[in-house]
Amino acid sequence: MDEDIHDLFIIGGGINGCGIARDAAGRGLSVALAEMNDLAWATSSASTKLFHGGLRYLEYFEVRLVRGALIERETLLRAMPHISWPKRFVLPYHPSMRFENETPTSKLLNTFMPWMKGRRPAWLIRMGLFMYDNLGGRKILPATSTLDLTTAPEGAPLKDKFEKAYEYSDCWVEDSRLVVLNARDAAQRGAKIMTRTKVTEARRESGVWEITLQDRGSDETRTVRAKMLVNAGGPWVGDIISGTVHSNSTDGVRLVRGSHIVTRKLFDHDKCYFFQGTDGRIMFAIPYEEDFTLIGTTDAEHEDPDQKPVCTPEERRYMLDFVNEYFKQDVTEDDVVWSYSGVRPLYDDGASSATAATRDYTLKVDDAGGAPLLNVFGGKITTYRRLAESALEKICAQLGVDKGEWTAGVPLPGGDFPVEDVAKLMKTLKSDYPFLSDYASRRLIRAYGKEAWDVLGDAKTVEDLGRDFGGTLTAREVAWLQDREWARRAEDIVWRRSKLGLRMSEGEITALDSWMAEGQGGSTRSAAE
């Protein structure tokens, strides 16, 4: 048994677990975190990759949730300008489009304005966008404007019936890298981050938690101790409550699957589309990885967290039919190059549908057995930092310590530069390493920010970077990811630390996996060690 007693032990290496670990370590608490797979392995790598307030949530009167997320957008943008940046969203409007949805807003319209018969009037959309512009104290992002789609380039890919659109602001984020950078910052502040380590059991003994750990691929176990336990298990939060920590909590989780498809590039500009469906849902079409378009998402009930979520043929067809109501040229199955799916662990608030279930987070403390347990439900990637602050408020109260908030505006690794300097950094990196392609220099800055120079080191030629695995990925970068970012397999790199799997062949990915397994890359030393 590890004789040291941690202040805090966290189960789950998604954005909530890693965000809490970073905040706690920065307050001087001793922290350990165990993730049974890779960091961001589940929900946190399968989002729509937006820092956004959630415009559609205003129809459900979730004003507090939207306001908090809108305020947080710009706080996060300043702290991670390499992995997050502003985007403009185009919302086409058609006056005759009817909706068969059952949101609280639509019910009011149908009651007091029955002549609308399921249509969202222009004034309602403008009012929603006015609230969206002003609820969060916007300072960096530009306000909503109106587009004439008959002349604007954003109208060219759309059907001629769409003549008018509203353009508003939100932000993009590299979701998996957000998780990894929070874990790295936590480790640099003293947290112990353990990947591919499963918590098989946790019991309260003499006022502390005794936590049994098992390394994946091994039968051996070890035990560590902690004063408080955080269950940030994402889709497995309910299983951990009932099966791992043996809690009698009656709080429930609602698993909702969200699927996405990635297609060939569907339009030439860099703005995103926000499409409304007649069923009341919305769909994004977003420029992705320079040469592709990301389309999503769906809402479907998902019963078993151990059942790997996949984009079903029905969901794929739904998304294609949805966007084909807007695009002139039909998007077909042949245009789809990749799909992914994730499960949102929402707090079960008894909502009538997956779409209506709240996306806000819920934190529940169970201290009935002595050593306290904090269960984390739901949350949006946009509000992960605020969730961590709320969690630390409860944690500090339970541990009897007084440690103040500190994370607002504090940059993540590589992000200590102004938002407006991104293009200058790309140009400087290309100047310092002239053998890089334009694409490679952009990609490296967007992944590592100012740490791109540390990744490339003293390389004078492309040969100095070692083996080329395809997609601009080289042995030197792989070694960095192994040594500093807990990457152990090819999929960790090509589908989470990056999306280079879209540019690499199956053979190249297999070769990378073999190379890493043979120990030819980094020292296999994690950042926590």
What average pLDDT does this structure show over 131-157? Answer: 92
Per-residue confidence (pLDDT) for residue 348, from 0 to 100: 85
3-state secondary structure 190-209: CCEEECCEEEEEEEEECCEE
How far is the C-alpha of 350 from the C-alpha of 84, rounded, in Å?
34
Please check the confidence at residue 90 and state whether its pLDDT lies above 70. yes
How far is the C-alpha of 192 from the C-alpha of 10, rounded, in Å?
10
> How sure is the predictor about 527, in pLDDT bands with cuts at 50, 70 and 90?
very low
What average pLDDT does this structure show over 218-241? Answer: 96
Q: What is the pLDDT of residues 283-302, one digit of tens each?
A: 999 999 999 999 999 999 99
Per-residue confidence (pLDDT) for residue 356, from 0 to 100: 57
Mean pLDDT check: name the lowest of 67-71, 262-266, 315-319. 67-71
Please check the confidence at residue 106 and state whether its pLDDT lies above 80. no
Per-residue confidence (pLDDT) for residue 99, from 0 to 100: 55
Cβ atoms 20, 10 nearer than 8 A = yes
Please check the confidence at residue 171 and state whether its pLDDT lies above 70. yes
Please check the confidence at residue 525 and state whether its pLDDT lies above 50. no
**What are the residues whose beta carbons fall under 8 Å from the beta carbon of 118, sequence distance 6 or more?**
98, 99, 100, 101, 106, 110
Burial string for 196-214 (b: 16+ CB within 10 Å, else e) reads bbbbeebebeeebbbbbbb
* Helix, strand, coil share (%) of the chain residues, nearest 5: 35, 25, 40
Per-residue confidence (pLDDT) for residue 519, from 0 to 100: 81
| Among the listed residues 171, 56, 61, 69, the one whose alpha carbon sits nearest the alpha carbon of residue 125 | 56
Threshold 0.85, pTM exceeds:
yes
Q: What is the pLDDT of residues 336-391, one digit of tens each?
A: 999 999 999 998 877 656 655 666 899 999 988 789 999 999 988 999 999 999 99
Torsion of CA 92, 93, 97, 98, to 10 degrees: 100
Per-residue confidence (pLDDT) for residue 355, from 0 to 100: 59
Per-residue confidence (pLDDT) for residue 300, from 0 to 100: 92
Per-residue confidence (pLDDT) for residue 187, from 0 to 100: 98
The phi and psi torsions of 295 (rounded to 5 degrees) equal -125, 130
DSSP 412: P
What average pLDDT does this structure show over 398-403? Answer: 92
| Among the listed residues 96, 98, 94, the one whose alpha carbon sits nearest the alpha carbon of residue 149 | 94
Task: Identify the residue with better confidence: 178 or 57.
Answer: 178
> pLDDT > 70: what percent of the chain?
91
Q: What is the pLDDT of residues 450-507, one digit of tens each?
A: 999 999 999 999 999 999 999 999 999 999 999 999 999 999 999 999 999 999 999 9
> How sure is the predictor about 528, in pLDDT bands with cuts at 50, 70 and 90?
very low
Q: What is the pLDDT of residues 21-71, one digit of tens each?
A: 999 999 999 999 999 999 999 999 999 999 988 887 777 667 888 888 888
Please check the confidence at residue 109 and state whether its pLDDT lies above 50. no
Per-residue confidence (pLDDT) for residue 116, from 0 to 100: 40
Q: Which residues of 348-461 form beta strands (DSSP E)? A: 362-366, 373-377
Cβ atoms 478, 519 nearer than 8 A = no
> How sure is the predictor about 121, in pLDDT bands with cuts at 50, 70 and 90?
confident
Per-residue confidence (pLDDT) for residue 529, from 0 to 100: 33
The phi and psi torsions of 92 (rounded to 5 degrees) equal -65, 145
Q: What is the pLDDT of residues 2-27, one digit of tens each?
A: 568 999 999 999 999 999 999 999 99
Domains of the chain: 5-37+176-252+359-399 (3.50.50.60), 45-75+88-171+254-347 (3.30.9.10), 419-517 (1.10.8.870)
Task: Give the chain's mean pLDDT.
Answer: 91
The H-assigned helical ranges of 284-366 are 313-324
* 293: amino acid identity, one letter: T
